[in-house]
Chain A
Amino acid sequence: MTGHVGGRAVRAAGERGGDVRFQLTDDQRALRSGVRELLARRFGREALRAAVERPGLDRALWRELGTAGFFALRLPETAGGVGLGLPEAVLMFEEAGRALLPGPLVATHLAAGNVPGAAEGETVVAAADGGGLLEWRAAADVVLGDAVDAVPLRSVDPLTPLHRVPASDTPDPVAVLLTAAEQLGTATRACELAVQHARTRQQFGQPIGAFQAVKHLCAELLARVEVARAAVYAAAVTADPADIAAARLLADDAAVRGARDCLQVHGGMGFTWEADVHLLLKRAWVRARRAGGGAESEELLARELLSGAGR
């Protein structure tokens, strides 16, 4: 009799129905499509290419992002913010990564509430992120962290100006997570571009996507995106440093290798300045070096294994 208590709990739980919890809520879906529409309208392909030709920060767009709540998203409503949490921020940054939106988005988002005007998109904030690099120093109104001896370098990414700075203390895990979300978005775009090209480009009388060598590159692209997505969303829910470290490693891999494979699927076109593929790869490279790169995340997880925590 007592032995069946467990079984009853099982059925009771089963009857609850609609037990869908680790999925986007309707509000989260709406937020995501709102951001996606805004970015498609304000930073579509033409705007992206225009930005490549005329580097610099679009202040009007920055203010629009501010109005849309991009920076104030996690500030409490009492402080004039939107009052949402990390999962919503992650969805927003994923869209930013998908659109390859340029600018010190993470730094300004984190400065909202501390630096006047950051939340509204009036002040552009750049920050040394603990690693050895500083993005967007010249365009920023406020630069946080040790940037006195910043040395400019000729950035590999046409849309991210870079300075070398002294590496500092341990990076902010939220910055790492939001970067992972951007990487996830870029990886998703790489997968979409690769699949679209594989469907339309014809060789030997058929779409190249019918060849297994190409097909399997696309399948691996998607698998990396889906695994990274689960890791990034989970880290947004738990905000656990080890989950964030895992999310970062998988998202970096999905974005960097995804862009590489996308390039391969594009053939000679992939090696051109004109195709967008290189922009994906270069941004992914820049983000993968944020906060000093992935090695520290791997070490953190290794330490975690030893301590037996998180299991």
Chain B
Amino acid sequence: MDLADTPEDAEFRARLREWLGKVLPTLPPKPSPDDWPGRRAHDLGWQRTLYDAGYADVHWAAAPTVRLIFLEETERAGAPYVGANFVGLLHAGPTIAAEGSAGQRARWLPPILRGEEVWCQGFSEPDAGSDLASLRTRAWRDGDDYVVSGSKIWTSHAEVADWCELLVRTDPTAAKHRGITWLAMRMDAPGVTVRPLRTLAGSAEFAEVFLDEVRVPVAHRVGDENDGWRVTMVTLSFERGTAFVGEVVACRRVLGELAREARRNGRWDDPALRRRLGLLDAEFRALWRLTQWNVSEASAGGVPGVGGSVFKLRYSHARQELYDTAADVLGDEALDLDRPWVLDRLSSLSYTIAAGTSQIQRNIVAERILGLPKGR
């Protein structure tokens, strides 16, 4: 067991840190949450900056330890979050890299890395959330195209996306897991309508997507027809296993800021609050160690295992506890939307729901790791 940087890792870390120190002060300010075109441009601009410096493919091509160093250093330095690039960079891209044909990889991956195209995830439907495999959006073959009709919901970043990783039902007669296909759909294709949904935090982070006889070339299918559920599992394992890892470092930064704020406003004198902060620090330290453990286990670029569900389960709750503790530090000010952490507290409410609810993660841990029987 070893946690120290190898000389190569240490060199990578030092060079990255130096580069961040130079480049971050030159970045434009963060746009407002309601300015979607601005946010897209900002997030893609950062990806382009990474690309130009040779860091664009760290998530895909680097050794696991290097990837963690990258996340650690960028978060510590306060570099921009992946934002609109989340789906492309952290789960659609890795899925295409793992399951796509050579032609598909050549078509879709470089624009993601260069910060030119945004992806969104069209999995959930009004009647298929936790029970994702019951999805009903239909796709028929018509020559070299699929013709797709149905509707998706909770599609994050749909308004600014170029592509959608889309799950459709290609065989309605097969058992529910067997008739699903994974497609890449252009969001500007005729028949795609996006209707933004306002979240409880006030902004429109996700949308409904209506599909009315949208034509998707058969060549845009990743994996075989009706083999989409297997591909979906690959996508979800990236989403649950590795996509949130960098946020742990960010949470530890916030925790330090909370302690300093408590010291400033006097809340620090309350031992119950101090101990709550100390316990949270223990939790986030451990989550980071768990990440290092899991990542050491998976080989570079490999598909993370169901162990990601353990991480996702604990992390979601820890993040909510973090912002509830922030409210404890802020007191009355926790009700003022202009105070830092108040919006974050609202967003944290989605963590136990998005990317599979905590109840579903517990089912996965119990059934797939512990081998307990499925309920009837």
Chain A positions within 8 Å of B, measured between CB atoms, are: 3-14, 16-17, 19-25, 28, 87, 195, 198-199, 206-207, 209-212, 214-216, 218-220, 222-223, 226-231, 233-234, 236-238, 242-243, 245-247, 249-250, 295, 297-302, 304-306, 308, 311
Contact stretch, chosen from B124-132, B228-236, B276-284, B342-350: B276-284
With A209-B372, A218-B372, A250-B282 as given contacts, are A22 and B293 in contact (CB-CB < 8 Å)? yes
B275 at the interface (CB under 8 A from A): yes
| Given contacts A13-B12, A227-B286, A246-B285, A305 and B277 within 8 Å (CB-CB) | yes
On whether the beta carbons of B366 and A227 are closer than 8 Å, the reply is: no
Residues of chain A lying within 8 A (CB to CB) of residue B361: 219
Residue of B nearest to A90 (CB): B1
- CB of A231 within 8 A of CB of B286, answer yes
In the complex, A249 Cα to B287 Cα: how many Å?
13
How distant is the Cα of A245 from the Cα of B278 in the complex, in angstroms? 9
Task: Give every chain B residue within 8 A of A20 (Cβ-Cβ).
Answer: 296-297, 299
Cα-based distance from A12 to B63 in the complex (angstroms):
9
**CB nearest neighbor in B for A243:** B285
Residue of B nearest to A300 (CB): B278
The closest CB in chain B to the CB of A231 belongs to B286
Nearest opposing residue in chain B for A233, CB measure: B1
| Assembly CA distance A28 to B2 (angstroms) | 12
Cβ of B64 within 8 Å of any chain A Cβ, yes or no, is: yes
Q: Is B54 an interface residue (CB 8 A)?
A: yes
Q: Which residues of B contact A210 (CB under 8 A)?
A: 372-376
Q: Does B212 contact A (CB under 8 A)?
A: no
Is B160 interfacial (CB-CB < 8 Å)?
no
Q: Which residues of A contact B277 (CB under 8 A)?
A: 301-302, 305
CB neighbours (8 Å) of B2 from chain A are 21-22, 237
Bound complex: CA A12 to CA B54 (Å): 13
| Selected contact of B289 from candidates A17, A87, A216, A234, CB within 8 Å | A234
Q: How far in angstroms is the closest Cβ of chain B from A98?
A: 17
Can you give 28 A-B contacts (C-beta < 8 A)? A6-B53, A8-B54, A10-B12, A12-B8, A13-B9, A14-B63, A14-B66, A17-B300, A24-B1, A199-B372, A210-B375, A218-B372, A219-B365, A223-B310, A223-B365, A226-B310, A230-B287, A231-B282, A231-B285, A245-B278, A246-B285, A298-B278, A298-B279, A299-B278, A300-B278, A301-B278, A301-B282, A305-B281
Given contacts A16-B63, A24-B1, contact A215 B275 (CB under 8 A): no
Q: How far is the CA of A301 from the CA of B54 in the complex (A)?
A: 37
**What's the nearest-Cβ distance from chain B to residue A235, in Å?**
8
Identify A233's interface contact among B282, B289, B363, CB under 8 A: B289
* Other 15 A-B pairs with CB < 8 A, given A23-B297, A199-B373: A11-B62, A13-B63, A20-B296, A21-B65, A23-B1, A206-B373, A210-B375, A222-B310, A222-B369, A249-B282, A250-B286, A298-B274, A298-B275, A299-B275, A306-B263
